[in-house]
Structure 1
Amino acid sequence: MTDNTQGQAETPIAYTALTTGTAVLDADGAEIGTVEHVLQDSTIDLFDGIAVTTANGLRFVDAGVVGRITTAAVHTTLTAAQAEALPEPEGTEVFDADPEEFGGNGLSAWFGRMFMREHWMRRND
């Protein structure tokens, strides 16, 4: 699908193709800010959301409110009021290996212990 928003042709793209500085729009097409970076775990193809530079500082847009991503913009389902109330990103991300991942006597557990798989879980401290 190709639209013509603000004079630019829009081609749908994956979150992995998003670039810094891409416009982020609310549901009415008003600009919220621009993409600072994408929050993802590429090892398991997980899109968590987008850190957005706004007039009020850095804000977090959850993947659940991203409607579509195009070459011209990230279109969200946020209302203007929701966009204004976006949260700041919280803390620094600290991850630990999942200790149960390598438990057991099976072949999969052995490979996990031997080659340290890259599955991680958030530490709760």
Structure 2
Amino acid sequence: MPEPIAYTALEKGAPVTTSTGERLGTVEHVLQDASLDLFDGLAVRTHHGLRFVDANQVTSITTDGVATSIGESEVEGLPAPEGDAVLEADPEQYQGEGLTAWWGRTFKRSHWLREKE
């Protein structure tokens, strides 16, 4: 039996399912306001691209993944995530062996990341 977990324990790549148990996609990023300990929702990688799943659409978060109240026919109509927190790493910019490359990877300098379009 899958055990319930906190949203803060969710990892990138965790499976997200529809209300009927079909695979909706995978967790890309948890959207939260850490100062308020407030779960806002998820950025989910779907076959329609990156989509936002609101916190009130999440029915459970367990060690097996995230279950939602979203039907398969609703997935394409989900909005894309918005805001500054939606970033995607550019793996080609994480290349290099020098000290500058290490610092860029360690502190995630803004020029080492690009905003997802």
Confirm or deny that 1:75 pairs with 2:67: yes
Confirm or deny that 1:51 pairs with 2:32: no
Confirm or deny that 1:85 pairs with 2:83: no
For structure 1, the 5+ residue unaligned runs are: 3-9, 94-125
- Amino acid aligned to 1:70: T
Return the offset for 1:84.
2.6
- Amino acid aligned to 1:74: V
TM-score by length of 1: 0.64
CA distance in 2, matches of 1:11, 1:47: 19
Where does structure 1 differ by over 2 angstroms across 4 or more consecutive aligned residues? 90-93
Return the offset for 1:89.
1.3
Return the offset for 1:92.
3.4
CA distance in 1, matches of 2:37, 2:4: 18
Which residue in the other structure is 1:24 paired with? 16
- Amino acid aligned to 2:18: D
CA distance in 2, matches of 1:25, 1:84: 14
- Amino acid aligned to 1:18: L
Residue correspondence of structure 1 range 1-125 to structure 2 within 5 A: 2=1, 10-92=2-84
Larger C-alpha radius of gyration, 1 or 2? 1
